[in-house]
Structure 1
Amino acid sequence: MPSRNQEPATEASKNNDLPGVNSLSREPLLPYRIVLSVILSVGLVSALYATIPDCDEVFNYWEPTHYLFYGYGLQTWEYSPAYAIRSWLYVGIHSLVTLPFSLIPNLDKSHLFLILRTALTATAAVSQAELYEALSRSINPGVGLLFILVSVPSAGMFQAMPAYLPSSFAMYFVMFGMAEFLRTPVSLSKALTHFSIAGLLGWPFCLALVVPQLLFWMAEEGKTKSIMEIFRCMALSTMMPLALLATVTGIDSLAYRKVVFVPLNIVLYNVFGGSERGPDLYGTEPWWYYFANLSLNFNITAAAAFVSIVLLFVALVAFPADVTGRHFVLLLPFYLWFGVFSLQPHKEERFMYPAYPALCINAAMTLALAKELILFACSKLKIQQRIARTLGISLITIILIVSAIISTSRIFAITTAYSAPKNIYQADLNITGNVCFGKEWYRFPSSYFLPAGARPRFIKSAFAGLLPGAFAESNTPFRDGTWRVPKNMNDLNQEDPSKYIPIRDCDYLVDSYFEYREEDAGTLEPNYILDTENWDRVACQKFLDARQTPFLSRALWLPSWVYRDQRVWGEYCILRRKPKDGAQRSIHT
């Protein structure tokens, strides 16, 4: 938008303001390669150190991928052909990414885990850089730069980038799709293809994010084209999405050996599952859950994202000629996504991942608008342009620095407090036999962290829902576990006792101990770490006791000279059963 002051604006000053959507010749403030390099560097750090906070990532994606590679792994009910709400094509594509590296002799499985994570962050980095360039050229170079300064340091993007989840995958391609809609002329075919990949191969619900962009494109095209021409263009642009639809249906039907359309099954289960089934079986959260979650992951910039539409209306009143429909359309996806998912009782952090880029765009727009409104107000108050500009830049700089510091503190707090379930396997433990999980079942980081001679098993704990079973082990190139209906699976989260093995059959046990917690009243969760008569400690690391640690101490890491460390620590250990007869047990099947 043009400068709001009494002095003539120079060409340099114009380039720092928020223009209309027709300013297409603007160059990004930072070269593409520099931005991509920075995002890649942060992505590599996240691939190395980000935790796995969601057991769904492990059991529904890492374990099936491990099964395709090695012929064994854990299987959830979602992969039963009776329900078929997970895509083998999605898992298969990710398996192919690491296939060349698996041919390297003596390469540890955990290295393949890291390689795939790195590939995911690389894809995220490219999509983020593409969106940066598109914002810079079609909206304003300043908005593009602010988008990067908001998104790259954020704790939310740090966690979402390396996550092996359809919602993260959808986030990558939503960014590609949004970038295409911002370019002039719009390549509708490319834009719809990217959103189709996000929805059909990733998470179908993210297709809602294309609606504002598509409607705006139709409105703009309608100014110069007839309705028939618009629909003809849309029909031609759906060729690639339709080909993708056929591919997804064909590959998944081949894997399940029955005709299935996984994206539809996901929608039917989650939206039309009925009162006895559906996502609410796995927990519900209060209406304010996403407000709190986004505040932790994006802090000040989350607040900036929420007020973006308000500032845009203020700008519309202040200088109506410079606010366009494109600005409103750019802000709508975040509000649309946040509103829809806040209404759902079942809420999870990963559900917000596809909207993270939209949140960062909204926050960037807020900061850019705030600067312009400061310039406008100062011009009305006869304050010098130099002072007004310094005030606006200083405000934005302070917000970005404070936000980056808080996000860094958040990242450090999470990685230092909760990395033990992943890091504990890094030592050369030479584990063989049955590795059992009781109350720590949901923190298992996947079979990629266990040697070939070890198998993950479950023992009974206080948890009373349905645990994963195991794929039938296979040495053939084509895994028949993709189409065989496993026994004792259900979509009602009803406990199945056959998923457990007796504690006596466990060769190793992964458990945690927190000094201030009592044992389960029914002795289902005894403190095995203290049972030195039957178990030896193989490896232990400290693990945060979230119940005993005050909120601020567990939410953020602060140096001791700023805030007294009040974190309370427990232990997270791999235990080995003390041999009674000197013999190692065979793997329980």
Structure 2
Amino acid sequence: MSPRSQVPLAAAATQKIESVRTTKKGPLIPYHVVLSVIFSVGLISAAFATISDCDEVFNYWEPTHYLSYGDGLQTWEYSPVYAIRSWLYVGVHSLLTLPFSLVPNIQKYHIFFILRAILAGIGSVSQAELYDALSRSVDPEVGLFFILISVPSAGMFQAIPAYLPSSFAMYFVMFGIAEFLKTPVFLSRAITYFAVAGLLGWPFCLALVVPQLLLWGFDDGRARGSINMVRRMACSVFSPLIVLAIVIGADSLAYRKPVFVPLNIILYNVFGGSERGPNLYGTEPWWYYIANLSLNFNIMAVAALASILVLAITSVILSTGVTRLQFVLLLPFYLWFGIFSLQPHKEERFMFPAYPALCINAAMSMSWVKGLILFSGTKLKIQAKVASALGTSLIAGVLAMSALISTSRTVAIITAYSAPQTIYRSGQNISGNVCFGKEWYRFPSSYFLPSGARPRFIKSAFTGLLPGAFEETNTPFRDGTWIVPQNMNDLNQEDYSKYTPIGECDYLVDSYFSSTGRQAESLEPNYILDAENWDRVTCHRFLDAAQTPFLSRALWLPSLAYEDQRVWGEYCILKKKQNRVT
């Protein structure tokens, strides 16, 4: 066969792949309508979602505040000795807020919420793109179910506005999967999105794209031959190499030494050894993510975990073949869930990149279950229209119930745990040292403190390593990015130089719960009850989780239908009385 005759054959094979992977059907709901709804929910989450992890504050909000305003708290990860956090990542976000910070009389906490809104906007576009791609390349019904599952979920509500590399990676993995579905033959743009997710975001998220890349290699190899497939793959890595060069160059410039942050993250977390690594910060049982996903996605978590079983049942009963694309779309969630369930150190944010994959699995499960209901109806000699209506009604009921539970979960979290972000917006003129004891991990960032105030820590029962302060200089350059801070370590060993004497505190943030009673530890006295030394500036109620029943903690239930069993404590800003507390 001549070389000329091979060209049309390869083109025909390519067109065949395209026809299998792309349908002529479009989304059931117009793109702009879906995007508007997603973005509206995203803005609500940006305004009201709580900060669930202190790592978000100390490793991202604080360095960004330092770049923008010249002061902030510094963790050991930003020491040039370890360099496992990217200055390019926080620098990009700092630049996003720069135009808004120039607005006269704007408050810093306004900048906080503006950046959250920007993140929600990016996340909304990525969700809409994935919805459009699923609708066109898989099935319009799957795309619709994906949106109906992801948008109201408590998990996505928390993840979308979070200033975390895992959320950032989630955005660009969604962009990449959408591009992979829309243009399966030309993968250059999809690989670029994946590179941004892994190199600028979180390197571990690249595990989510392995199945797609393997499918691309298989399909392209069959269509064009192995040699051409390798050539096309080599051409596709040009853009990722540019991303890599930018990441290494920017971070090396900030740290003033050659640095490859993604590699440092992997080395620390995977090859850190027994004396260091993520396990120093706590371990969780094997079922942690099952419980966590059940809270954040309820019924849909079960549907996602059961999706391969549902696919197998459907293919047997309906005698339908399992397409490679269907199987590949199911794999990322299982792969991610398996890898991270095996790790002793577990955190909710580690699941963020896999949330869209969970929603895809659940959406496909719902679609297949609907098909099984229709098939069962025909076997029972029920009219097709009646069977279809029954299936649609049952699936709609399940989706509505899931959305209702998720909304209840979201409202429960907002109403119970918002005090750490709301107590600072009372118009009080706070200045000087604002101290944190046992509430150090709920500090919402320096964006909530006026320019004349600085966060400080007092000794509490906590015995790990607390953040220090970045080097403050009068120059426009932030020398703290490269100056090696004193008394930092990667072993989570306590450093007493990080503490401020209580007598030097002008303000103090503290909580009080009746479950602790008046019997407090010597290192954690009930400052809120100490009216002799401290005045209350602002107080808000805060859920006493120890005394609140599980169901009342997990979900918000209307008081008209259910007696509110939540028990409340107090969360306060206190001001030191003159000539008191030494």
**TM value normalised by structure 2:** 0.95
TM-aligned CA deviation for residue 380 of structure 1: 2.8
Aligned to 1:579: 578
Counterparts of 1:78 and 1:319, CA distance in 2:
54
Q: Aligned equivalents of 1:157 and 1:185: distance in 2? A: 27
Superposition deviation, residue 384 in structure 1: 1.6
Structure 1 residue 145: Cα displacement: 0.5
* Secondary structure of 2:435 counterpart: strand
- Tell me how far apart the structure 2 counterparts of residues 402 and 153 of structure 1 sit (CA, whole Å): 11
Q: 1:477 to 1:186 in 2, by over 3 A?
A: farther
- 2:455 and 2:143 map into 1 onto residues whose CA distance is 46
Partner of 1:53: 52
The RMSD of aligned alpha carbons is: 1.4
Q: Give the paired residue count.
A: 564
- Asked whether the 8 Å contact 2:21–2:325 carries over to 1, the reply is no
Structure 2: gaps (5+ residues): 1-18
CA contact (8 A) 2:149 2:399 kept: yes
Q: Deviations over 1:374-423 (max 9, x none)?
A: 12222233222122112210111111110111011001000000000001
SS in 2 for 1:429: coil
Aligned-residue offset at 1:317: 1.5
Task: Please say if 1:473 is aligned against 2:498.
Answer: no
Residue 438 of structure 2: SS of its match in structure 1? coil
SS in 1 for 2:316: helix
Give, in whole Å, the separation in 2 of the partners of 1:278 and 1:110: 33
Q: Do the aligned partners of residues 519 and 254 (structure 1) sit closer, same or farther apart at CA in structure 2, a change above 3 Å counting?
A: farther
Matches within 5 A, 1:345-494: 345-494=344-493
**Could you tell me which residue of structure 2 aligns to residue 25 of structure 1?**
24
- In the TM superposition, what is the alpha-carbon distance from 1:509 to its structure 2 partner? 0.2
Alpha carbons 1:331, 1:358 under 8 Å: kept: yes
Q: Please give the per-residue CA displacement for 1:116-161, whole angstroms capped at 9, x wherever unaligned.
A: 0000000000000000000000011111000000000000000000
Distance 1:119 1:174 in 2: 18
Following superposition of structure 1 onto structure 2, how do residues 94-105 of structure 1 map, counting pairs within 5 Å?
Answer: 94-105=93-104
The residue identity in structure 2 corresponding to 1:210 is: V
The one-letter code of the counterpart of 1:546 is A
Question: Contact between 1:440 and 1:511, CA under 8 Å: does it hold in 2?
Answer: yes
> What residue number does 1:153 align with?
152
Partner of 1:333: 332
CA distance in 1, matches of 2:438, 2:120: 31
Q: What's the secondary structure of 1:573's corresponding residue? A: strand
Letter in 2 for 1:73: G
8 Å CA contact 1:21, 1:139 repeated in 2 = no
Residue identity opposite 1:253 in structure 2 = S
Distance 1:21 1:298, change over 3 A: farther
User: Secondary structure at the residue paired with 1:537?
Assistant: strand
Q: Confirm or deny: 8 A CA contact 1:459 1:501 kept in the other structure.
A: yes
1:34 aligns with 2:7: no
1:194 lines up with 2:193 in the alignment: yes
CA distance in 1, matches of 2:349, 2:183: 32
1:508-527 correspondence runs (5 A): 508-518=507-517, 522-527=521-526
* Partner SS, residue 222 of structure 1: helix
Structure 1 match to 2:257:
258
Residue of structure 1 in register with 2:121 after alignment: 122
The Cα offsets for residues 265-302 of structure 1, whole Å up to 9 and x where unpaired, read as: 00000011000000000000000000000000000111
1:105, distance to aligned residue in structure 2 (A): 1.1
Matches of 2:122 and 2:46, distance apart in 1: 12
2:34–2:128 CA contact under 8 A, matched in 1: yes
Offset of residue 522 of structure 1: 4.5
For residues 431 and 272 of structure 1, the distance between their equivalents in structure 2, rounded to whole angstroms, comes to 44
Offset of residue 478 of structure 1: 1.3
Instruction: Report the CA distance shift for 1:245/1:184 in structure 2 as closer, same or farther (over 3 A).
Output: closer
- Amino acid of the residue matched to residue 386 of structure 2? I
Structure-2 residue corresponding to 1:312: 311
**Taking structure 1 as reference, are residues 153 and 186 closer, same or farther at Cα in structure 2, changes over 3 Å only?**
farther
The aligned counterpart of 2:131 is 132
Distance 1:129 1:520 in 2: 52
Cα contact 1:315–1:323 (8 A) shared by 2: no
How does 1:229-308 map onto structure 2 within 5 Å?
Answer: 229-308=228-307
One-letter amino acid of the structure 1 residue matched with residue 545 of structure 2: A
- Unaligned runs of 5+ residues in structure 1 are 1-19
Do 1:180 and 1:187's aligned partners in 2 also have CA atoms closer than 8 Å? no
The one-letter amino acid paired with 1:439 is K
The yes-or-no answer on 1:204 pairing with 2:203 is yes
Shift of 1:184: 3.7
SS in 2 for 1:456: strand
State the 4+ residue runs in structure 1 displaced beyond 2 angstroms. 20-23, 184-187, 318-323, 377-383, 518-522
Map of 2:555 onto structure 1:
556
Shift of 1:224: 1.4
- The aligned residue for residue 11 of structure 1 is none
The Cα shift of 1:21 comes to 4.4
Checking the alignment, whether the CA contact within 8 Å between 2:22 and 2:182 is kept in structure 1 is no
Tell me the alpha carbon deviations over residues 30-61 of structure 1, each in whole angstroms, 9 at most, x when there is no partner.
11000000000000000000000100000000
Shift of residue 518, structure 1, vs aligned partner: 4.1
For the residues of structure 2 that align with 1:266 and 1:580, how far apart are their CA atoms? Answer: 48
Partner of 2:4: none
CA distance in 2, matches of 1:380, 1:556: 40
Secondary structure of 1:491's aligned partner: coil
Identity of aligned residues (%): 72
Structure 1 residues 62 and 191: alpha-carbon distance in aligned structure 2, compared to 1, 3 A threshold:
same
CA distance in 2, matches of 1:351, 1:343: 13
1:228-262, Cα deviation, whole Å (9 max, x unpaired): 10010000000010110011001000100111100
* Alpha-carbon distance in structure 2 between the residues aligned to 1:520 and 1:507: 25
8 Å Cα contact 1:21/1:326 also seen in 2: no
Question: 2: CA distance between counterparts of 1:176 and 1:519?
Answer: 53
Distance 1:408 1:391, change over 3 A: same
Report whether the alignment pairs 1:499 with 2:498.
yes
How far 1:323 moved relative to its partner? 2.7
- Gap change, CA 1:256 and 1:243, over 3 Å in 2: same
* Amino acid across the alignment from 2:225: S
1 CA distance for matches of 2:185 and 2:358? 22
Aligned residues of 1:177 and 1:195 also touching (Cα < 8 A): yes
Who is 1:17 aligned against?
Answer: none
What is the Cα deviation at residue 321 of structure 1?
A: 4.2
In 2, the alpha carbon distance for the partners of 1:353 and 1:251 equals 26
| TM-score for the superposition, normalised by structure 1 | 0.94
Equivalent residue of 2:109, what SS? helix
Instruction: Indicate conservation of the 8 Å contact 2:21/2:181, yes or no.
Output: no
Q: Is the 8 A contact 1:180 1:186 kept in 2?
A: no
Give, in angstroms, the shift of residue 520 of structure 1: 6.8
Matches of 1:380 and 1:23, distance apart in 2: 31
Give 3-state SS (helix, strand or coil) of 2:298's partner.
helix
> What SS does the aligned partner of 1:223 have?
helix
On the 8 A contact 1:101/1:112 being kept in 2, the answer is: yes
User: Residue by residue, what CA displacement relative to the aligned partner does 1:72-127 show, whole Å, maximum 9, x if unpaired?
Assistant: 10000000000000000000000010011111111110110011000000000000
What SS does structure 2 have at the residue aligned with 1:224? helix
Q: 1:576 to 1:521 in 2, by over 3 A?
A: closer
CA contact (8 A) 2:314 2:320 kept: no
